[in-house]
Amino acid sequence: MSNFDDIRPYNADEIPAATQRMADSEVIPAIAQYLGMPTDALRNRIRSIKTLKEFQLDLLKEVLETLLEKTTTRFDWSGLENISEKKPYLFVSNHRDIVMDAMMLQYILNEAGQNTCQITFGSNLMSHPFVVDFGKLNKMFRTERGGTPKEFYNSMLHMSEYMRHVITEEQESVWIAQRNGRTKNGIDATDPAIIKMFGMSRRDDRVRSLAELNIVPVAVSYEWESCDKLKTIELYLTKKNGHYEKQLNEDLNSILTGIMQPKGHVHFHICPQVTEEDLFSLNTCNSSEYYKRMAELMDSRINPNYYLHPNNYIAHDLCSGTETFAEHYTKEQKATFLKYKDWMNDYPDFDRAELEAIFLGIYANPIEVKNKKFNPINHSL
């Protein structure tokens, strides 16, 4: 028994049963149809998997390439010179899509000849059996959400210990989002509590505690924001009602929408690692200020490397009623964006002006954040 059996990915003995369950799942016919594969062929392909590496680098690599061909116009990356195959990292990225952010980073690492990483995955997303098996076969480990304050503290400590174990003992990289959950309003900001969680598993020296994790910020940019319509509706209802109550299977719908939705150009930038020298420069701060400053350091590397697309500039000009950024897009691109915006016609009972302001803010806010103005559209959301 391992101390981490409750959260870790599957081990070798668990793979045959997991692949059998996945192959028998009721969701396989729809997936096979989308991928253009015969259902039985996909079922047999899944059943034949014997290792996590085979699942990732054989089946998932092929599936992801099909998805990218169907949903992206371009997928590229930069910054590989900032990492080495000789050591593991803790990749910390802004988070726009539940599954695709981490899967595309896995693909980039593999294309660069490096080992893939383990991935954090919220327990709230592990409700459907197929998602559980898919996640644990894709080197995802469970992160608990909710519970009493004591339960939450213990789960964060447990995760911190596991991540340190993976990086320092198993010599394997880990991916985690810069905050709890996806960015829904286009404002990327690292949560100091996440940084504090990293250090919970080693308290004797807060500088070396973080330094030995080899933290590398990653900037993820989508031309067409993942689940933009769903995010807009959620933010609208949250503002209107003061809260948002998820519907049955909503997380699964968000996962599938994010996977299959057109994304346009997707760009990843791997930023320079946070060094021990960086951390020592913050070491005169008290504890809360230290983690706040560390979060700001992460943002200072992620946000400038966010790749702005024409949609961002179009949305910002629509919000301001100007053509300040008109040089960054064509009339055709603006017409396409305006036509896409008509999806809001399907919600006649909603306040159209408010709905539109929220939607445009999702695309416009990255400009504000990147330019360090910190005056985002709909900042209260």
The model's pTM is 0.94
User: 188-219 pLDDT, tens per residue?
Assistant: 999 999 999 999 999 999 999 999 999 999 99
pLDDT value, residue 173 = 97
User: Where are the CATH 3.40.1130 domain residues in the chain?
Assistant: 12-305
Residue 359 tokens read as 């939607």
Calpha distance 363→193 (Å, rounded): 26
Confidence of residue 373 (pLDDT cuts 50, 70, 90): low
Residue 380 confidence (pLDDT) = 31
Average pLDDT value for residue range 30-58? 94
Average pLDDT, the chain: 93
pLDDT at residue 251 above 90? no
**Which residues does 175 contact at the CB level (< 8 Å), separation at least 6?**
91, 93, 101, 102, 105, 117, 118, 119, 120
Q: What are 137-196's pLDDT values in tens digits?
A: 999 999 988 789 999 999 999 999 999 999 999 999 999 999 988 999 999 999 999 999
d(CA 368, CA 327): 17
Whole-angstrom CA distances from 239 to 234, 244, 247, 366 are 9, 9, 17, 21
* pLDDT tens digit sequence for 118-141: 999 988 888 789 999 999 999 999
CATH number for the domain whose boundaries are 12-305? 3.40.1130
pLDDT at 229: 97
